[in-house]
Structure 1
Amino acid sequence: MKKFLLPIFAFIALAACNNDDNTTNPDVDYSKLPQEFPFSTLKTLNGVNIINGGFGSGATAHPTQKGEFYVITDRGPNVAYSNGIKILVPDFTPTIMHFKINAEGKIEVIKYIKLKNPSGQPITGLPNPVGMGSTGEVAYAADGSVLGTDNYGLDSESIVAAKDGTFWVSDEYGPHIVHYSADGVELERISPISVNTGTRKLPAVFAKRRPNRGMEGMCMTPDGKMLVGTMQSTMYVPTKALATNTTLTRIVTFDLATGQTKQYLYKQDGGASDSVCDITPISNTEFLVIERDGNFGSVGGLKKVYRINLTNASDVSGTDLTAVDGMKINGKTLEQSTWDEINTAGLKPVTKTLAVDLVSKIGYEHDKFEGIVYLGNNKLAVFNDDDFGVADDGNGNPKTKNLPKTGKQDKGTMYIVDIQ
């Protein structure tokens, strides 16, 4: 495949969590950072340029080659519409981009990997049908006509590159954790109990994720034994109306050898509209986690990274993984319970301390801070999701997504920052 040179945007910004083999290397020159990724135009719709971007929903370091990374798109350019979303490019395929930082300190694209179903056919970002991971969202074309569904469709949000050359990807539909070959062909799909996708399962309660707020972050522990996934926001357990603890979200671990899962509570600083996004490992028990809101950083947005530790946190799986509402306290779900009630029951969330505030540290101006990779030596790679350069105009149509500080169209940007 033809190689492209992309100037690197500073301080690295990659997402996702992989093992910690990609420690800071004096042979990798990050001094040209920051820079934004230059992208071609994917499509022009009503005078709005939809860029061939989106590589920031998730990212991961190459497990053995320092200075090489993988970034992944989500389901594709879209805007809110009616009881669902307009998919602006219906045949868009969620894609992995493999790149390296070359000797000139620029990004050199090695190849693109389109995700495929088990038969080797490219998937789409269309929602799953009922029984296969549906969120209840309806997909519409740009003209408002109803689109179909895709059994293997994915709203991909995070990626892990394993040492055997395969990839693990999590998403916001099912939520699914999908294992892909080095060429992007689906090998296994792990979903909540009751979702019709294979034999290894996540606990049933995870099917109650909010639409478009599924498994936003995922990483692999440095020993290669465990996947660790973060849910973006409070789940609707037992229902949207009754899930009143809007600062509670969950972390799930999946043992790759045994399929055993554990669940932990995470206490957000913000509320229902804020997000827990990517996660990257420092050790097998300590991680870095994103908390953000939906505002641009340059207008007072929340863009923070916290160190968390699972060591003394309580496993809140309960005794019945098929229970759709999960563990309960005095007849109430965890999402119905206050933190005082949770503490009284002897359940401890993960511990957390602030690692870096990107707004105060570097004047971070993007809204969707969605990717981090720990590089070792207190260096953190950071990446934003540019939404393909489009935003919702409030009437179900796209408009150009401009940064308020500069007025320029938002594009994927890489940073490297020091953390505490």
Structure 2
Amino acid sequence: MKKVGLIMALSGSLSLFSATAVEVERYAIELPAEAQIPYHGLYASEFPRGIPTGLGSGLAFAGKQPDGSLLFYSLTDRGPNGDAPLWQDGKESTPTKIFMAPQFTPKMMQVRIAGGRAVASNAIELKDQQGNINGLPLPDELIGSTSETALSDALKPVTEQSERGLDTEGLVSDGQNGFWLCDEYGPFLIHVDAKGKILAKFGPTADKDEKTIASGLPNILKWRQPNRGFEGIARLPSGKIIAAVQSTLDIDGKTAKKASFIRLLELDPVTGATRMYAYPHDIDAYKKSADAKIGDMVALDDQRLLIIEQGKDADKKMRNLVYLMDLTNATDLTDKQLDGKEPEFASDRTALEKAGIHLVTKQLVLDLRAHGWNAEKAEGLTLVDNQTIAVASDNDFGLSVKVKNKEDDAKSPDDYSIDKNGQVYLEDKPVKTHFAIKASEGDEAKSQLWLFKLDKPLK
């Protein structure tokens, strides 16, 4: 369903391109019946037609078709999952996720805008030499592990971890009928053909005594926060691939909350050469630096890209901003250190500049929320033309986990723990709290695809 509006907005003082008038087209992505994931579990009454496939983790424009329709490719993440209490095993507790469909295969789908509708079709499942992959967490001993235990809807361990698991979060055309994807486990970069078969996978190269299932990228990327690996990806006209870590790195568990930048990675697929850059997130807007998140990217040319920055600010209000960033004068972070430590340990950006480390520059283009955007996550970004930006939301497969009979101010499932007998604890005290899975409603129920037409071209 399409909604169109002409929304007036004041230009921001930082912005070269911020529009004074923007035409906005709003679509809820419609899914075919076969895109409903079969589910017969404890909460089947919430999903009588199955769980809807959650698109919007990535977005790539495939062109205007002869019939006038606009064709996009979009992407799922690892599958229908939700927050869950920590798994309590004796004195040890580990993070968990509820996997509603443990054998779900991450996939791409076409999305076509025509006749006032955005309709998804033609699912392309991701596969390797062994067949369809899955979205399950990686084994604990591997680089890229999140140490998560996969639980059923009954909060029982359901499966072993998987070396073939991917949590895909972005896609872009490779210019030859295939795609480059990014993942937030490894973090990995994955090259696939038009049928979704994995041709190559790049990940942090292992140091001594480390184990990995993919290499070719700087080892430091292993310090991504769990489930915050690569979140955005773009292909430059030169053919190089740019990927953005979702948030600040947490080196030795010490830098996530204070690091003054988020890492960008550049990969030359032909030579394997890599570079890294420092993206200056709006550090003063957040309660802590770790709260800033990247949504996605798209390239304008070999030096300039649009990037979504988002997250809850210090007042817990959601922000979703599109910036134009320029790599021209940014320093390659490879092997850069300050006083023997990685740049993330620098006291502030002034210290980085004094050490000769220049960050990416950026200018505000569009405040999505000021133009009506109301979904929490803006995770797909692409260009229809040099005046029209397309943005997609991730609806998390239209489900959420609710806390029932909460204790004190413990509102999140992962504030609690649970043992093999089903006993729930809060700070080692048994409680009567329980959890329920609910189907989302309103704007969060479906993936959204919005078109923002600016009043001036970007190029």
Query: 1:187, CA displacement in angstroms?
Result: 1.2
Cα distance in 2 between the residues matched to 1:397 and 1:257: 49
2:438 to 377, 399, 408: 399
8 A Cα contact 2:375 2:444, kept in partner: no
Query: 1:371, CA displacement in angstroms?
Result: 1.0
8 A Cα contact 2:25 2:452, kept in partner: no
Query: 1:290, CA displacement in angstroms?
Result: 0.5
Change in CA separation of 1:330 and 1:350 when aligned onto 2, cut-off 3 Å: same
1:95 and 2:130 are equivalent in the alignment:
no
SS at match of 2:375: coil
1:312 to 329, 332, 353: 329
Cα distance in 1 between the residues matched to 2:310 and 2:256: 21
Cα distance in 2 between the residues matched to 1:63 and 1:134: 37
SS at match of 1:251: strand
**In structure 2, what residue type is equivalent to 1:360?**
A
Cα distance in 1 between the residues matched to 2:63 and 2:186: 27
Percent identity for Structure 1 against Structure 2: 29
Cα distance in 2 between the residues matched to 1:306 and 1:33: 20
Cα distance in 2 between the residues matched to 1:32 and 1:329: 46
Aligned to 2:354: 344
Structure 2: runs of 5 or more not aligned: 6-22, 87-94, 403-411, 414-434
1:156 and 2:168 are equivalent in the alignment:
yes
- CA offsets per residue over residues 285-340 of structure 1, 9 Å max, x none? 10000011159xxx94201100000001111111xxxxxxxx32012321111212
State the structure with more CA Rg.
Answer: 2
Query: 1:132, CA displacement in angstroms?
Result: 5.6
Aligned to 2:60: 60
Relative to its length, the structure with more strand (as a share) is 2
Change in CA separation of 1:8 and 1:69 when aligned onto 2, cut-off 3 Å: farther
Change in CA separation of 1:9 and 1:281 when aligned onto 2, cut-off 3 Å: farther
Aligned to 2:235: 220
Cα distance in 2 between the residues matched to 1:10 and 1:253: 37
2:82 to 67, 79, 83: 79
SS at match of 1:35: strand
1:127 and 2:130 are equivalent in the alignment:
no
Change in CA separation of 1:51 and 1:217 when aligned onto 2, cut-off 3 Å: same
Q: Which aligned segments of 4 or more residues in structure 1 are displaced greater than 4 angstroms?
A: 7-11, 63-66
1:234 and 2:248 are equivalent in the alignment:
yes
8 A Cα contact 2:400 2:438, kept in partner: yes
Change in CA separation of 1:314 and 1:64 when aligned onto 2, cut-off 3 Å: farther
1:277 to 272, 275, 295: 295
State which drifts further: 257-266 or 391-400.
Answer: 391-400
Query: 1:246, CA displacement in angstroms?
Result: 3.9
Aligned to 1:196: 212
Structure 1: runs of 5 or more not aligned: 1-6, 12-30, 319-326
State which drifts further: 33-42 or 137-146.
Answer: 33-42
8 A Cα contact 1:63 1:161, kept in partner: no
- CA offsets per residue over residues 37-89 of structure 1, 9 Å max, x none? 23455336524336323110111112796822110000011112211211111
SS at match of 2:344: helix
SS at match of 2:162: coil
1:137 and 2:148 are equivalent in the alignment:
yes
1:364 and 2:373 are equivalent in the alignment:
yes
1:183 and 2:200 are equivalent in the alignment:
no
Query: 1:148, CA displacement in angstroms?
Result: 1.2
Aligned length: 374
Cα distance in 1 between the residues matched to 2:71 and 2:168: 21
8 A Cα contact 1:9 1:415, kept in partner: no
8 A Cα contact 2:143 2:204, kept in partner: no
SS at match of 2:53: coil
Query: 1:242, CA displacement in angstroms?
Result: 4.4
Q: Looking at both structures, which has the greater relative contact order when contacts are Cα pairs under 8 Å and sequence separation is at least 6?
A: 1
Cα distance in 1 between the residues matched to 2:98 and 2:385: 40
SS at match of 1:342: helix
Query: 1:113, CA displacement in angstroms?
Result: 0.4
**In structure 1, what residue type is equivalent to 2:26?**
P
Aligned to 1:26: none
Cα distance in 2 between the residues matched to 1:108 and 1:38: 5
**In structure 2, what residue type is equivalent to 1:412?**
S
- CA offsets per residue over residues 188-245 of structure 1, 9 Å max, x none? 11111015335x510000011110110000110123x1000001101111x2234442
SS at match of 1:328: coil
Cα distance in 2 between the residues matched to 1:402 and 1:99: 22
Q: Provide TM-score, normalisation by structure 1.
A: 0.83
Change in CA separation of 1:64 and 1:229 when aligned onto 2, cut-off 3 Å: farther
Cα distance in 2 between the residues matched to 1:142 and 1:165: 39
Cα distance in 1 between the residues matched to 2:124 and 2:27: 23
